Amino acid sequence: MAWNWQHKNWPQFNYNEEDFKEFELKFFENAGMLYGSLQHVDGDEQQVLKVDLMSNEAFKTSEIEGEILSRDSIHSSIRKQLGLQVDHRKVEAAEQGIAEMMVDLYRNYDAPIDVEGLCLWHKMLTNGRRDLQDVGRYRTHDDPMQVVSGPIGRSIVHFEAPPSKDVPGQMETFIKWFNDSQKGRVNALPPLIRSAVAHLYFECIHPFEDGNGRVGRAISEKSLSQSLGKPTLIALSQTILDHKKSYYEALEKNNKDLDISDWIAFFCEMVLAAQAYTQKTIDFVIEKGKFYKRFGDQLNERQTKVVERIFAEGFKGFDGGLSSKNYQSISGAPSATATRDLTRMVEIGAFVKTGELKGTRYYLNIN
């Protein structure tokens, strides 16, 4: 048998829950720390943080599929849908669509999944597409749904999904399994296992003509949110993008057999890494608030502009630190003024200076 869905026991996946208990415990521990840390962020900043996290996930889940969208447009669209103040920039269909899906996921994480909801997500994702036969509905084409790579004539088939005529029945079984395995149900599964199985199971059916990866990752996040009783807001797509090659290798490795222990282990590691990334982001926002309380009223307009630009880079900061030339470029200050500004910022403790001469670099004085 070539593919797992052709196995007589499909979709009865094989794994040992005991093997993943440590992952599950760590998941809940990390979630508690995340929500505890979030309480140290004031209301307005919390809203900004949530929008930033959703925007980044929308941007990154699209980038995984090779679609590079406008992060600013996604951000603006999410703010608008949440009823927050926005500028009046034009938002293209693709950015608006992925933003709508992320907001729907955030608002309705606790709702069961159904055909209408999944097809609505697909319609959002493919907003403005003219190259697809089936928009907002399961695929209907007669050609095999294959994941391939390489040139025509020498292409490699990495996976072939069930034929289109079988998709409605396969998805009916998937939807029932997903809803019945939710926390509190008779067939409830541990959070990480449920989320991992849901993603692989959905990808193996590949019910849509395009957009299956983005919908599949959204289902995984919905599953995790349901287990916690609140939106996870973790950087899952960001983490998967950082391990994109391993992600696709893990999916391919587990599409021929029903033993998916390797996939679940990989996925558990991705979720824990995503939680760690979000924890760093929250910690960074907290430190940002402390920084402005300590130094905000001591900074001139130029210095404030540069600090805001550095903070915009997130907790990873400027690659290699801030140079005097960087400062001049961002602030518009001449060399002598930049030197005075930087010296002053080191004196008050806002910046930490390293190196000498051309190797001099400056870093925000935060933990």
Residue 186 maps to which CATH number?
1.10.3290.10
User: Between residues 233 and 149, which one has the greater pLDDT?
Assistant: 233
3-state SS class at 328: helix
Question: Which of 237, 252, 284 marks a domain boundary?
Answer: 284
**Which amino acid is residue 351, in one-letter code?**
F
Domains held by the chain: number: 2
| Residue 222 belongs to some domain of the structure | yes
**CA distances (Å), origin 43, targets 25, 39, 81, 232, 298:** 29, 9, 18, 18, 25
Range of the domain at 235: 4-284
CATH number for the domain including 352?
A: 1.10.10.10
| Residue 291 belongs to some domain of the structure | no
pLDDT greater than 90 at residue 156: no
Residues 62 and 197 in one domain: yes
CA distance 58 to 75: 9
Residues 20 and 80 in one domain: yes
Residues 201 and 67 in one domain: yes
Residues 8 and 59 in one domain: yes
Q: Are strands 146-149 and 361-364 parallel, antiparallel or unpaired?
A: unpaired
Residues 254 and 344 in one domain: no
Residues 253 and 352 in one domain: no
Token look-up 């005529």 returns 165
Residues 261 and 328 in one domain: no
Residues 48 and 114 in one domain: yes
Tally Cβ neighbours within 10 Å of residue 111.
12
Residues 253 and 337 in one domain: no
Q: Where are the beta strands (DSSP E) in the chain?
A: 146-149, 156-160, 351-354, 361-364
Residues 271 and 321 in one domain: no
pLDDT greater than 70 at residue 81: yes
- Note whether 211 and 138 are within 8 A (CB): no
What's the whole-model pTM score? 0.92
CA distance 302 to 122: 45
pLDDT in tens, 169-214: 999 999 999 999 999 998 999 999 999 999 999 999 999 999 999 9
Average pLDDT over residues 37-47: 88
Gyration radius of the chain over CA positions: 23
Predicted local confidence at residue 67, as pLDDT: 94
